[in-house]
Each structure stands twice: as C-alpha cells, then as structure tokens.
C-alpha cells in the first residue's frame, strides 16, 4: 500500500473541504454550496476510480478516511431525528398551530403516502414490461446466490407476522426504548407518543391553565435548543455530501453497472416518471413544480447520495417549512414517510421485481388478475413494511411471498443495488414532502406566499 498516495488523497479532500468553507464564509447560498459539494465529489470520485481502481487498497483506505466526514455527518443527522420529531410535534400542540383534527390529518397523510405508492407500483409494472425485463436475463453468480440465500433466511423471520401485528408494532409500548431508535417503527411510535402528550396538554389547558402555561414554556425552551442543534448539524451538509459522493463514485462497480445497464436504466426511468407524477400532483394543486424542484434540491441531493431517509428527515422537515408547510404537518408527513408508503422502496422496486420474476415460474405478469393483485399487495405491504423494517428488501420479501414468487431471485440485482437505492431514497423523500404539501393545501394551512417566495429557501449558514 502506498501511504504517500493515501496522504495525497486526504490532502486533496481537505483542500476541497476548505473550498466549501471559503464559500460559506463568503455567504454563498446553501443550495449553491450543496451543488458545489456534489460536483466536486463526482469529479474527485472519478479521479480515484480511474486513477487507482475501485478495488485498490489506496482507494478503499482513502475513502475510509473520507468517511469520517460523510458517515459522521449522517450519524449526527440520525442523532437529532428523535428529539426533533418529538419536540416539533409537541410544540405544534402548545403553539396551537395544528389546526383541525389530528386524527383526520394523520389519516389523510397515510392515505396519500399509500395511494401514491400504489401509483408507483403501476409505474414500476409498466416500466418493467416496456423494457422487457426478465430475471432470466441476469447471470446468477456467487454474490447473487449468497444474497438470495440471505433473503430466504430473512423471510423465515418475518413470514408469520400478520398485518394486524405489524400495525400493533407501530404503537409505543415503551416510548423510552423508541427514543433510542431500537425498533424499525421507533420514529412513528415517537410521533404517536408526542401526539398523546399534546392532546393531554390541551386537556390540562382547559382545566389547569397555570400548569399548561408552565409546560408550554418548557417545551418552547427545548424547541429553541433542539432547532439550534439542527441548524448546527445542517451547516455540515455540503461537506457531508462532498465526502459521501466521492466515496460512492470511487467505489462503484462500473463493470456491473455496464453489464446491468438495462435494469439500471429501467429503474431510473420509473423513478423519474413517478417524480414527474409528484410534480403533476403539485401543479394540479396550484403549486409551481419549478419552485418545488428549486427548494427541494438540497434534501433530494442528500437523500440520493446518503441513501438514508431517516438521516434526511431534519432537512426534509426544514425544507417543507420553507415551502409554507406548518410544523406539525411537516413532522407528521416526514416521520410517517420513513416507514409507510415509500414510493421508491415499497412501490416501484417490488413491483418491478415481481414482473421480472413471474415468468420464471410460468406466470404471465400481464394478466389483469396478476396486475390487480400485485398493485393491491404492494399498497398494503407499503404500510406493513413499517412493522418489520428494512426498506426495499423487506418490501420485496413481503410482495414476492404474497404473490407466491421465488424470493431468492430478488438478490439478482445486488451488484447495482446501491446505485438503484440512491434514486429510490430520493423518491421516498420527495413522496413525503409532496404529501406534506398536499395535506397542507387540502386543509387550507399552506402558506402559499412562503411557497412562492424564491428567497425563502433552506438556509443554515448562520
């Protein structure tokens, strides 16, 4: 291993980080710094990829050091997810900015998330059929076989979990455990717990106003501190994106991407079509798609690069608020969107896999009965995924098992899984933000002036 080359790569990364810091000091806008970090990461990643090779020890060791910035940033984001969700929803009650019935808002948010996932399934089916994708077109090597065996092992752990049991898993039996993020459904459990305390606060306010006022001041104090922590962490976004993008590009298996280019292309066509549907929904609601894309760019870029919806939650909520979505609705939509109705992971992906795998067992995936059953199962499973966690993998397992299709074949795309997962995660986050906007619009709570104000964008440099 050439230590000199590794030190050189680290020095280059430090210089690039310094460029972003200089831009921050010059008060360059947050979006421009994010875009710059993205571009620099792609270029530096390509230099490492073609200069040393994705499998070289120099590349792997260098990117391991870069990961101090990239993975460290993601870790900080995950650190503030639970406190942010809890205090933001609770403050929505104490500040009385959750107009309307909380139950009604929650049902509408879930309905939009699951409904758009059903639409995403239809898009996935159409795209897979249009590209003529079939599982038999993919060579099954040792990596694919191993992945298939792992999926079958995972299936044995979740096959006996019923939908009612999955719904029950959303409830906060031990909220203190859920604050640690120990369960796949911890975030939603914290949302429910915060809502219970909020409703209790409203009851106390009507009978013991002094106690309620004291509690409200405490919540406001905590809210101010937590939001300051969020600001401090989000200031690191351009640096985190630079490091994450460099690592992603440098370590990508270009041969596998070229070999399975048809499947990657089909996946991204489906993802882009569904993103276009998000924009159409906003347009029909009287909201400018162009404005949405401009304001959503930083969070969608981060979600794309980091492949973590949970890590993107603070930026997701901050972005929704810059678009005029009230705190409460932004937190409900963002939090529910982590586990329910993920358009990319629970909608497009399992639907495409089902269409690809069905011919291997003699099933025609284009028969009306198969298609209707698949869309229904995808919609239901997108809600049930929250009960078992694991995102796209568990969504695929649930759908394929319900359709009586071989689960092991879901491992065939393992070599390009990270690349496809980037687009899926970005679409998941877009689905949650679109849901927050539409829910606010339907309930006449959206600040359209804030939405249309081009200057009112996510800015966390202060």
**pLDDT digits 0-9 by tens, 364-416:** 888 999 999 999 988 887 775 544 445 677 777 778 877 888 776 666 666 67
CATH fourth-level superfamily of 3-452: Sodium:dicarboxylate symporter (1.10.3860.10)
pLDDT, tens digit (0-9, with 9 covering 90-100), for 343-369? 988 899 889 988 988 888 888 888 999
Per-residue pLDDT tens for 186-224? 777 888 898 889 889 888 888 888 898 899 999 989 988
- CA angle (22, 236, 228) in 5-degree steps: 115
So what's the pLDDT on residue 388? Answer: 46
Q: List pLDDT tens digits, range 247-256.
A: 888 887 777 6
Confidence of residue 276 (pLDDT cuts 50, 70, 90): very high
- DSSP annotation string for 297-313: HHHHHHHHHH--TTTTH
Average pLDDT value over all residues in the chain: 83
The whole-number pLDDT of residue 179 equals: 87
**What pTM was estimated for this model as a whole?**
0.81
Please report the pLDDT score of residue 147 as a whole number.
Answer: 52
Residue predicted with more confidence, 374 or 151: 374
Specify the DSSP element, H or E, that contains 357. Answer: helix 349-357
User: pLDDT value at position 144?
Assistant: 46
- 87 in Cβ contact with 226 (< 8 Å): yes
Averaged pLDDT, 437-460: 84
What are the structure tokens assigned to 41, written together? 């990461």
Alpha helices of 2-141 — where are they, by DSSP H? 3-25, 30-52, 57-94, 102-130
Helix (H), strand (E) at residue 287: none
In the chain, where the domains are located: 3-452
Which residues are CB-neighbours of 360 under 8 A, at least 6 positions away? 134, 135, 136, 406, 409
- Cβ(328)–Cβ(91) below 8 Å: no
Query: 14-36 pLDDT, tens per residue?
Result: 999 999 999 999 888 887 888 89
Average pLDDT of the residues in 324-348: 86
What pLDDT is stored for residue 460 in this prediction?
57
Query: Quick one: average pLDDT of 331-343?
Result: 84
Q: What is the mean pLDDT of residues 220-234?
A: 87
- State residue 207's pLDDT score: 86
- 437-456: average pLDDT: 88
Among 104-118, 302-316, 392-406, the least confident range: 392-406
Residue 376's nearest CA partner among 114, 190, 139 is: 114
In angstroms, rounded to a whole number, what is the distance separating the alpha carbons of residues 416 and 353?
A: 14
pLDDT > 70: percent of the chain: 85
Least confident window among 390-394, 427-431, 442-446? 390-394
């Amino acid at each position: 291993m050439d230590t000199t080359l590794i030190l050189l790569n680290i020095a280059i990364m430090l210089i690039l980080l310094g460029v972003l810091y200089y831009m921050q000091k010059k008060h360059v806008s947050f979006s421009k710094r994010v875009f710059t970090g993205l571009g620099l990461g792609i270029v530096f990643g390509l230099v490492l990829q073609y200069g040393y090779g994705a499998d070289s020890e120099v590349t792997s060791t260098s990117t391991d050091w870069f990961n101090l910035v990239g993975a460290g940033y993601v870790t900080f984001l995950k650190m503030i997810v639970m406190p942010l969700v809890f205090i933001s929803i609770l403050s929505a009650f104490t500040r009385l900015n959750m107009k309307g019935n909380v139950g009604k808002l929650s049902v509408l948010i879930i309905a939009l998330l699951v409904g758009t996932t059903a639409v995403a399934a239809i898009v996935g089916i159409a795209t897979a059929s249009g590209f003529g994708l079939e599982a038999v077109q993919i060579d099954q090597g040792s990596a694919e076989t191993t992945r298939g065996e792992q999926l079958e092992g995972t299936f044995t752990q979740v096959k006996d979990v019923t939908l009612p049991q999955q719904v029950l898993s959303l409830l906060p039996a031990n909220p203190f455990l859920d604050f640690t993020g120990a369960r796949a459904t911890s975030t939603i459990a914290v949302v429910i717990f915060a809502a219970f305390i909020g409703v209790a606060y409203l009851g106390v306010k009507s009978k013991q106003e002094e106690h309620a006022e004291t509690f409200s001041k405490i919540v406001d104090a905590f809210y101010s501190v937590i939001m300051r922590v969020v600001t401090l962490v989000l200031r690191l976004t351009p640096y985190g994106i630079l490091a994450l993008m460099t690592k992603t590009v440098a370590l990508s298996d270009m041969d596998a991407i070229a070999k399975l280019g048809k499947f990657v292309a089909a996946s991204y066509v489906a993802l882009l079509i569904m993103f276009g549907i998000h924009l159409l929904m906003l347009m029909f609601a009287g909201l400018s798609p162009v404005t949405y894309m401009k304001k959503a760019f930083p969070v969608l870029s981060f979600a794309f690069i980091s492949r973590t919806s949970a890590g993107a939650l603070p930026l997701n909520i901050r972005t929704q608020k810059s678009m005029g979505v009230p705190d409460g609705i932004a937190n409900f939509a963002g939090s529910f969107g982590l586990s329910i109705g993920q358009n990319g992971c629970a909608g497009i992906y399992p639907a495409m896999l089902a269409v690809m795998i069905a011919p291997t067992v003699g099933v025609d995936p284009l028969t009306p009965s198969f298609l209707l059953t698949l869309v229904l199962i995808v919609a239901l499973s997108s809600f049930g995924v929250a009960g078992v966690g694991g995102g796209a993998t568990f969504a695929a397992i649930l759908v394929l098992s319900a359709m009586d299709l071989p689960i092991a074949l879901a491992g065939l795309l393992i070599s390009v899984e990270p690349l496809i997962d980037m687009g899926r995660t970005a679409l998941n986050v877009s689905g949650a933000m679109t849901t927050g906007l539409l829910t606010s619009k339907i309930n006449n709570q959206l600040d359209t002036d804030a939405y249309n104000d081009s200057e009112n964008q996510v800015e966390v440099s202060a």
